Amino acid sequence: MSPAAIRSLSLCFTLLLSCATSVRADTSADFAQLLEDSWEYDMQEFPQWATSAGDHRYNDKLEAISLADARRRNESTAKFLKRLEALDRSQLAATEQVNYDIFARQLRESLAEFKFGNHLLPITNRSGFHVSFPELRRDVPLESTRDYENYVARLQAFGEYANGYMELMRVGIDTEKTVPAVILQGYEPTIDTHIVDDPEKSLLYEPLEAIAAAVPESEHERLRTAAKEAIAESVVPGYRRFAKFMKNEYVPAARGSIGASALPDGRDFYRHRVRRFTTLDQTPEEVHQIGLAEVKRIRSEMDGIIQQVGFDGDFAAFTTYLRTDPQFYAPSAEQLMKEAAAILKKADGELPKLFGKLPRTPYGLREVPEYNAPRTTAAYYQRPAGDGTKAGFFYLNTFNIKSRPLYTLEALALHEAVPGHHLQLALQQEIEGMPKFRRFADFTAYIEGWALYSERLGREIGFYKDPYSDFGRLTMEIWRASRLVVDTGIHYMGWTRKQAIDYLHENSAMSLHNITAEIDRYIGWPGQALGYKTGELKIRALRAQAEEALGEKFDIRSFHDMVLASGAIPLDVLEANVQAWIEKQSK
């Protein structure tokens, strides 16, 4: 070949390479812009979420709620997906391809939720706008005059906000998409608590009682007057209308069935929910069988502890003993909170044994609000503000103190705070260089799977020395394994509420009050309870695989840091991360 021909081929190759590089750069830029556009859209459309994420541009607004708004948002989601699918995924870098796949999954799941009409079911027995709104006083910044003005503006907007939810629920009545009547029993305090004659008695007035020092004293009276007017003219009438709506319209129309399968297209809806909350391609039948096997395994370990402590009786007798003997219960709510605080303090000091990187954001301990405590679960966690201005909080339920056993408290605290939810979610929000939607991603199988895995980690840092506490840990674990059985049983296999309650009662040492509250939670939130055990099983299996592959090279701190480094992700993505880490550590 002549020198001229060689130069010509070289020039062609250079031009092709340049063109290909340009295509990849353009695709990457288009993808980054799409993610930014989607995030900006979410901030504008969901102001309360924006505040939580640390974007304070919309602190004076509430989400616009109506059937038209729900349809409009669904159409926007479809447009974002169309833009995404128009991009050539193969032209993106490997990390961008992961972001592409996760973003696509979220968009498709959102479209499916709308198709099945889940937006018409905006409340359960333990959640909804009427339950979350009173926590506004704790969830927003209240440091400046502007902050208080924004807070008052949101109080003023509540009336229309409540009207929007009632509109959706009326459509739900018309289309036979309502929550089961049984889980609405005792709902009244979640509403009636906020219908007050004196605005100063409202929980939402609390921030005005001691206004932040940075607010000029000359503004205090104006802000207090505005808040009282907003509570009297918007909040209280909104709750009063909602109370009337619930009593006269919604509760009488609530369905008698409890399973999601009874809804229109219910069996397809539940199969979608199984895939969504496990992030795996599993059928309800497969999940049910996994649950039965896990319950059997854990029951064997529990029987071993009964023998260890020398109890004279069978499993049922032992759990009755645990449920009724006063030694296993704190004498007061204050004592229960102190016990939990002591556990967390001990856990804080042991974390460096398991992790190389710890979150900067602190966490706190609070009691579950009285107005919601009788119907909600034993505990829950509230993630910190995205801008670091508010800590994360472990909420502990102190209602009916005789139903809150001390022998499960270690596992509960480790799950909700550290090394469970707080450690994982605070680290996730502190990840630098990750797309914003990933920093706040919410994959139940990962988040709850990690928290359940964290309960077991307590064994590695000095917890569960008392066999009764270890039995409590197993009670918490079998409770999550039982969820695989009862959730699929209720929503796909025709189980009755009593059948589900009896199953959990027979296989754990939980109090009947807790069991009933939990079963009603599963009834109102199809599929969500499947994520816990599914995720924990995957994390444990991946750890076992890494330990076997690496032998003496396996480092628990490095493994945990790697598992947490990408934030909440689908379990197949986690598995790919672990495989890559094993390969890297093997060299």
Q: What is the pLDDT of residues 34-68, one digit of tens each?
A: 999 999 999 999 999 999 999 999 999 999 999 99
559 domain-assigned:
no
Q: Is residue 124 part of a domain?
A: no
**Domain end among 61, 84, 116:** 116
Query: What's the pLDDT band for 548 if we cut at 50, 70, 90?
Result: very high
- Give which of 439, 312, 454, 461 is closest to 394, Cα–Cα: 454
Whether 388 and 462 map to the same domain: the answer is yes
Q: Are residues 284 and 177 in the same domain?
A: no
Report the C-alpha gap between 428 and 359 in whole angstroms.
Answer: 9
Q: What's the domain count of the chain?
A: 3
156 and 194 together in one domain: yes
Task: Kindly state whether residue 380 falls inside one of the protein's structural domains.
Answer: yes
Q: What is the mean pLDDT of residues 154-172?
A: 98
Of the three residues 205, 228, 256, the one that is the final residue of a domain is 256
Per-residue confidence at 378, pLDDT binned at 50, 70, 90? confident
pLDDT (mean) for 406-429: 97
102 shares a domain with 146:
no
495 lies in some domain: yes
pLDDT tens track for 113-151: 999 999 999 998 789 999 999 999 999 999 999 999 999
In this structure, the answer to whether residues 224 and 317 fall within a common structural domain is no
Are 478 and 517 in the same domain? yes
- Is residue 144 within 8 Å of residue 214, measured between CB atoms? yes
In a domain, 551, yes or no: no
- Local confidence band at 372 (pLDDT 50, 70, 90 cut-offs): confident
HEC secondary structure over 238-301: HHHHHHHHHHHHHHHHCECCCCHHHCCCHHHHHHHHHHHHHCCCCCHHHHHHHHHHHHHHHHHH
Give the pLDDT of residue 447. 98
**pLDDT band per the 50, 70, 90 thresholds, residue 524:** very high
In a domain, residue 261? The reply is no
**Over residues 387-406, mean pLDDT:** 93
Read off the pLDDT of residues 281-310 as tens digits, 9 standing for 90 and up: 999 999 999 999 999 999 999 999 999 999
Confidence of residue 513 (pLDDT cuts 50, 70, 90): confident
More confident residue, 219 or 20: 219
Percent of the chain with pLDDT over 90: 90
Q: State the pLDDT at residue 376.
A: 79
| Residue 554 placed within a domain | no
Q: What is the pLDDT of residue 8?
A: 62
Q: Are residues 414 and 529 in the same domain?
A: yes
Report the C-alpha gap between 375 and 211 in whole angstroms: 32
- Contact between 544 and 556 under an 8 Å Cβ cutoff? The reply is no
Give the CA count within 13 Å in the CB-facing half-sphere of 572.
12
| Residue 24 main-chain phi, psi, to 5 deg | -65, -40
Position 514 scores a pLDDT of 85
349/462 same-domain check: yes
Residues 225 and 326 in one domain: no
Residue 1 has pLDDT above 80, yes or no: no
Regarding beta strands 379-382 and 392-396, do their DSSP bridges make them parallel or antiparallel, or are they unpaired? Answer: antiparallel
pLDDT tens-place string over residues 182-203: 999 999 999 999 999 999 999 9
Residue 545: which pLDDT band, with cuts at 50, 70 and 90? very high
SS3 at position 329: strand
Residues 446, 498: one domain? yes
Question: Of 226, 256, 286, which marks where a domain is finished?
Answer: 256
Q: pTM for this structure? A: 0.92
Mean pLDDT, rounded, for 91-111: 97
Give the Cα separation of 75 and 253 in Å (integer). Answer: 29
Both 141 and 49 in one domain: the answer is no
57 vs 32, 47, 69, 335, 429, CA distance in Å?
22, 8, 21, 41, 19
Q: What pLDDT sits at residue 451?
A: 98
Task: Note whether 102 and 133 are same-domain residues.
Answer: no
**Does residue 572 belong to any structural domain of this protein?**
no
Q: Is the pLDDT of residue 18 over 70?
A: no
- pLDDT(6) > 80: no
- What pLDDT score does 69 carry? 98
Query: Among 20-29, 278-287, 397-406, which is the least confidently predicted range?
Result: 20-29
Structural domain range at position 82: 3-116
Is 90 exceeded by the pLDDT of residue 587?
A: no
